[in-house]
Every structure is written in C-alpha cells, then in structure tokens.
Amino acid sequence: MSIKKNLTEEEVLSLIGRETEAGFNYLYDHYASTFYGIVLKIVFSEDAAQDVLQDGFVKIWKNISNYERKKGTLFTWMLNIIRNTAIDYTRSKHVRNKIRIDDEIVGLNNQLSESKNFDHIGMKEVIVKLKEEHKVVIEALYFSGYTQEEASKKLNLPLGTLKTRARTAIMTLRNLLKEIQ
Amino acid sequence: MDLNEYILSGILEDYVMGLASEDQIAEIEKQAELQPEIRNEIRKIQESLEIYASSFKMDPPEGLKERVRSDLFKEIQGTMPEPDLTDEDPKTRIIRFKYTKWLAAASVTLLILSSILNVNLFLKLKSTQKQLTALITEKEYLAQKMKEQEIILTKAQDEQNFLLQAETRSIVLQGLPKFPDAQATVFWNTNSSEVYLTINNLPVPESGKQYQLWAIVDGVPVDAGILNETKSKFLQKMNNFSKAQAFAITLERKGGNSTPTLEAMYVMGKV
C-alpha cells in the first residue's frame, strides 16, 4: 500500500498544500484504501464507493486550507469529509430507496476477516479482543456517521447507554492499543 | 474542574464520537485551544480510532487513482472550464427546450397539414381524372357531331347547289279534295334529270303502308321511288326523269306498287 514511510501531519499538509503530484500520491496511497473500505460500508456498492471516493478526494484537496489542527487529527478531518460525501450520496434521490440497513454493522465486522490489507501488526488481535457491543457502537457513530439518535434507534439502545458504551469502547480500545505498542 | 477529571469524565470521547451537545462542543473547543493537554487527549482518541479504521482497508480498483488524479488536477488548473455542451447554462437550456418543443409542435403541425394536403390532392386527382374522362367523352361526342355536321353541311351545300341551278324547277304538289291540307314539293333538274322530293305536309302513314312518288310521263304514271321518311330535313333523292308532265304521291303497301292506287292519291302537281 503506502510505499513511502509515514510522514508527520505537518509534512503531509505541506505536501498537499503545495498541490503537487507528490502530495496527491501520498494522500491517495496512504488513505485511499482505508477510506474506500469505510465508504463501502456506507454505500454498499463498489461503483458508488468509487464515485464517493473521487468526490471526497477532490473536496479534501480543495479545502485543505480549512483544516484546523487544533480541532483534531488530519485523518479525522478527512474522514469527516469522506463520510459526509458518502452519506450525502445515500441521501440523494437515486438511492433514497436503498435504506441503510442494520446489516451494515454486521457486514462491517465480516469485512474485518476479509480485509486484504491487514498491515497493522497486532491490529487483528485488538479488534478481536474488543467486545461486539463496543465495536458496533464505534462503527455506527464514528465510521458510518450516524447521529446519536439514529445510532440509538438502529442499535436499540437508550441514549444514556449508548454514551456509556461509546466511552467504554474507546477506553478499552486505547488500553488494548497500548498493550501492543 | 480539574484537568485530569475533565479528561476522565468521558466528555472528550463524546466529542470525538459526535455525542456532545452544541454547548459542550463549544466549551470543549475553547478548552482545547487553551490547554494543550486537552488538545492532545482529543488527538489520542482520534488516533486510536484511526488505527481501528485501518482495519477496514480495501484496495480500490487500480484505475481509480488515475481517475481521481485527472479530476483533481483538472479542477485545480482548469480555471477556464472547457465548453461542455451538456453543461450549458439553464437559460440556454430553456431556450433550447422551448426551441425543441416548438420544433416538435411545428413538425407535427406540418405532418397534419401535409396529410390534409395529400388527401386533398388525392381527391382533386380523382375528380380531375373524372373530369378528364368526361372531357374526352365530350370531345369524342363533339368530334362525332362535327363529322355529322360536316356531312350535313356538305349535303346542304349540295342541295343548295342543286336548287340554285337555273335548270332546277320546283313543282308544288297540292292536296287533292280528299286531303286538302296535304302538300309536297318536287325539285327537278331538267338538265341532269335528277328528281328530289320534300314533304311539306302529309299525314304519318298507317303501318304497312308507304308513300310512293309517280311521274306522269305522256299520260302514264311511272314509279319514281318510295318515300322512306315523311319527316326528313333533307331532300330525298328520287328516280331520274328526263321527261314528265306531272308528279303525284299515293299511299301504297310497303315496298310500293307497279301501278298507283288512284283512290289513295294525296297530292298532285303539274310541271
């Protein structure tokens, strides 16, 4: 996947900010497969996922100057753009009838074992160790971009429980990651 | 609130997961700006999720990178968008739509008009063909009539020539006491010996009977011919006589007699 070694956020920003081919290459090589995997979970179609990814990359490229480092990581900022593009796509009229079903969360988990690019050492163990109830909450809120009301309804959890689970899920995830680092 | 307490409260997890309220978001962003520890904590939460996200990795199809690249650099450099026929401005589209609509309406109208014209022309053709047939018939009739007229004219001219000849004499045959209204005229050319007869007034003969002209030559009635028609426009040519003193008409049996029936003599005239 990423041929080049990981750059720091500043280096990435500087590359993209100069609007060079090198910047694009790094951006695409480094993030395309992760975003593609996430987008697929939202739009359920490879053709649509490619369109969304294309649109998303263009938006990222054009709006990179709006990124504020103090508000979070570059990845989170980019993921937001990609995710919103995917959600906009599912809400556009030609796919309105294809309702995002609960199965997508199950599908997301199935995806993990199928993933071709499990290059993060120990990541599989971490995810496996994470409780199912924590995984579904993270994936619904962070990767599929449901609002808390939507997630509460989809997962059939009261808002309070949803919040508690989300916090516990992140703390567990961070602890598991500390173990392998 | 103590910084550690704040971090451990779970509010930052809420923030990253999109579970914080508007007020909380504003407060957290303000705190993050002021305190690097909070900023750091938020990033650590996000980074953990980022690692999680990498587990979703799926290679997109190979062509996609090129697609995105060309799209991206076209977007950046292409300050002057290429004229795109599909991306015309709405005004043009409306005009074009109106134009197309108008064109469609016009062609339908033309089709209807053309159809009407065709039917009209077809009917006209039929009618013209009929008229032509009538005219041809009329022409043939007139030609025939003209031929007849020519014949009549020739005949009339011949009669005129004959009558105008100095040698042609007219002999009026008057009705006898039994038939006072009866009358006929004989034209006799003493030079050519030709004899013509016209009926001025004779009753229509009963069936099986015909009028017969007699020439009285030296006191003897000689057959001068049978009258085929009692009402002819033309003079009827009778037998030639070079010599005669009188002419008379009798009603005889069909085909004529060798001697006249004197009781049935209608008219007589002396030369």
Size of interface A-B (CB pairs under 8 A): 155
Report pLDDT for B47. 87
Q: Which residues of A touch B52 (CB under 8 A)?
A: 126-127, 138, 142, 173
* Chain B: closest CA distance from residue A141 (Å): 6
Least confident among A98-107, B55-64, B117-126: A98-107
Q: Are residues A124 and A87 in the same domain?
A: no
Report pLDDT for B216. 93
* Chain B: closest CA distance from residue A98 (Å): 22
pLDDT tier, A99 (very low <50, low <70, confident <90, very high otherwise): very low
Residues 57-116, chain A, touching B (beta carbon < 8 A): 57-58, 61-62, 70-73, 75-76, 79, 108, 111-112, 115-116
Query: DSSP readout, B19-77?
Result: -S-HHHHHHHHHHHHH-HHHHHHHHHHHHHHHHHHGGG--PPPTHHHHHHHHHHHHHHH
CA angle B268, B270, B271 (to 5 degrees): 135
Q: Are residues A107 and A171 in the same domain?
A: yes
pLDDT tier, B197 (very low <50, low <70, confident <90, very high otherwise): very high
Q: Are residues A12 and A94 in the same domain?
A: yes
Does pLDDT of B84 surpass 60?
A: no
Least confident among A109-118, B94-103, B243-252: A109-118
What spatial distance separates the first Cα and last Cα of chain A, rounded to whole Å? 21
Looking at the complex, does the CB of residue A180 fall below 8 Å from at least one CB of chain B?
no
Q: Which residues of A touch B37 (CB under 8 A)?
A: none
Q: Are residues A136 and A76 in the same domain?
A: no
Q: Which residue of B has its CA nearest to A60?
A: B72
pLDDT tier, A112 (very low <50, low <70, confident <90, very high otherwise): very low
Instruction: Name the residue facing B46 among A34, A41, A75 (closest C-beta).
Output: A75
Q: Under an 8 Å CB criterion, which residues of B touch A?
A: 10, 13-14, 16-19, 29, 32-33, 39, 42-61, 64-65, 67-69, 71-73, 75-76
What spatial distance separates the first Cα and last Cα of chain B, rounded to whole Å? 172
- B60/A36 CB distance under 8 A: yes
Q: Which residues of A touch B54 (CB under 8 A)?
A: 34, 119-120, 123
Q: Does residue B133 sit in helix, strand or coil?
A: helix
The CATH code of the domain that includes A43 is 1.10.1740.10
Q: Are residues A110 and A155 in the same domain?
A: yes
pLDDT tier, B186 (very low <50, low <70, confident <90, very high otherwise): very high
Q: Are residues A105 and A178 in the same domain?
A: yes
Query: DSSP readout, A115-143?
Result: -S---STTHHHHHHHS-HHHHHHHIIIII
- Specify the DSSP class assigned to residue A72: S
The total of other beta-carbon atoms located within 10 Å of residue A152's CB is: 19
Q: Are residues A158 and A137 in the same domain?
A: yes
* Chain B: closest CA distance from residue A97 (Å): 26
- B44/A141 CB distance under 8 A: no
Domain boundary among A37, A68, A100: A100
The CATH code of the domain that includes A115 is 1.10.10.10
Q: Are residues A49 and A94 in the same domain?
A: yes
Q: Which of B260, B269, B262 is closest to B198 using CA atoms? A: B269
Q: Are residues A55 and A128 in the same domain?
A: no
CA B83 – CA B72 distance, rounded (Å)? 18
Instruction: Name the residue facing A123 among B13, B54, B65 (closest C-beta).
Output: B54
How is chain B split into domains, by residue range?
3-56, 168-270
Q: Are residues A121 and A173 in the same domain?
A: yes
CB A137 within 8 A of CB A99: no
Mean pLDDT of B174-181: 90
In this predicted complex, what is the ipTM?
Answer: 0.76
Cα atoms found within 13 Å of the Cα of residue A155, Cβ hemisphere only = 29
Q: Which residue of B has its CA nearest to A2?
A: B59
Instruction: Give the model confidence (pLDDT) of B125-176 as tens digits.
Output: 888 888 888 888 888 889 998 998 898 888 888 888 888 888 899 999 999 9
Report pLDDT for A32. 92
Least confident among A63-72, A120-129, B143-152: A120-129
- Specify the DSSP class assigned to residue A22: H
Report pLDDT for A105. 42
In which domain, by residue range, is A92 found? 1-100
Instruction: Give the model confidence (pLDDT) of B41-76 as tens digits.
Output: 998 898 888 888 888 888 899 889 888 888 877 755
Report pLDDT for A118. 41
Mean pLDDT of B227-246: 86
Residues 24-63, chain A, touching B (beta carbon < 8 A): 24, 28, 32-34, 36-38, 40-41, 46, 49-50, 53-54, 57-58, 61-62
Give the number of domains in chain A: 2
Instruction: Name the residue facing B68 among A28, A75, A143 (closest C-beta).
Output: A28
Residue for token pair 């049978």:
B226
CA B149 – CA A93 distance, rounded (Å)? 94
Instruction: Name the residue facing A19 among B43, B58, B76 (closest C-beta).
Output: B76
Q: Are residues A80 and A149 in the same domain?
A: no
- A71/B32 CB distance under 8 A: yes
Model confidence, pTM: 0.50
